[in-house]
């Protein structure tokens, strides 16, 4: 009976597509700052499943986006949302280059100010407007804690 059940489960699992979108995260110290490097890979259809960063518990000063060797669609978008579903970059990670690394300071869209942004806990990453299969890239977050 157990072998039959195992065979059925194996057959069902072979019909379910495996999720290929992924992130890896590494934290480095850079003087008095920390740098969180998030390497991402899109799904085989170009989409991206939301991911959560490691807890930051600090003040974000700068974010860079860097296209990978399989570059995403030109003008792809990234959001970094806190626990309150607020994009700490104020939409300034929209329309990213598929060729060069770009950097931006967090933006307060309500008060129209560029400034550092406190973060307590993890951020939710969303990448949209990409249609390149298995596109890759990096999001680099510089912060003090």
3 state SS for 58-94: EEEEEEEEEECCCCCCCCEEEEEECCCCCECCCCCCC
Q: Where are the domains of the chain?
A: 20-144
Predicted TM-score of the model (pTM): 0.84
Report CA dihedral (56, 113, 94, 88) to the nearest 10 degrees: 20
pLDDT at 138 over 90: yes
Residue range 20-144 in CATH 3.40.50.300: no
**If residue 136 lies in a helix (H) or strand (E), which one and from where to where?**
strand 136-144
| For residue 141, pLDDT beyond 90 | yes
pLDDT in tens, 40-83: 999 999 999 999 999 999 999 999 999 999 999 999 999 999 99
- pLDDT interval class at 21 (50, 70, 90): low
Residue 127 has pLDDT above 90, yes or no: yes
């Amino acid at each position: 009976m157990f072998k039959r059940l195992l065979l059925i489960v194996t057959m069902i699992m072979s019909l379910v597509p495996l999720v290929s979108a992924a992130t890896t995260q590494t934290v480095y110290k850079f003087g008095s700052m920390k740098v969180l490097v998030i390497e991402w890979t899109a799904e085989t259809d170009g989409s991206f499943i939301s991911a959560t960063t490691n807890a930051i518990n600090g003040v974000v000063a700068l974010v860079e986006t860097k296209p990978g060797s399989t570059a995403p669609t030109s003008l792809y978008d990234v959001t970094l949302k806190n626990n309150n579903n607020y994009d700490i970059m104020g939409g300034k990670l929209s329309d990213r280059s598929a060729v060069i690394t770009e950097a931006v300071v967090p933006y307060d869209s309500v008060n129209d100010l560029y400034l550092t942004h406190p973060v307590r806990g993890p951020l939710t990453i969303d990448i949209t407007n990409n249609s390149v299969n298995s596109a890759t890239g990096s999001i680099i977050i510089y912060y003090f804690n």
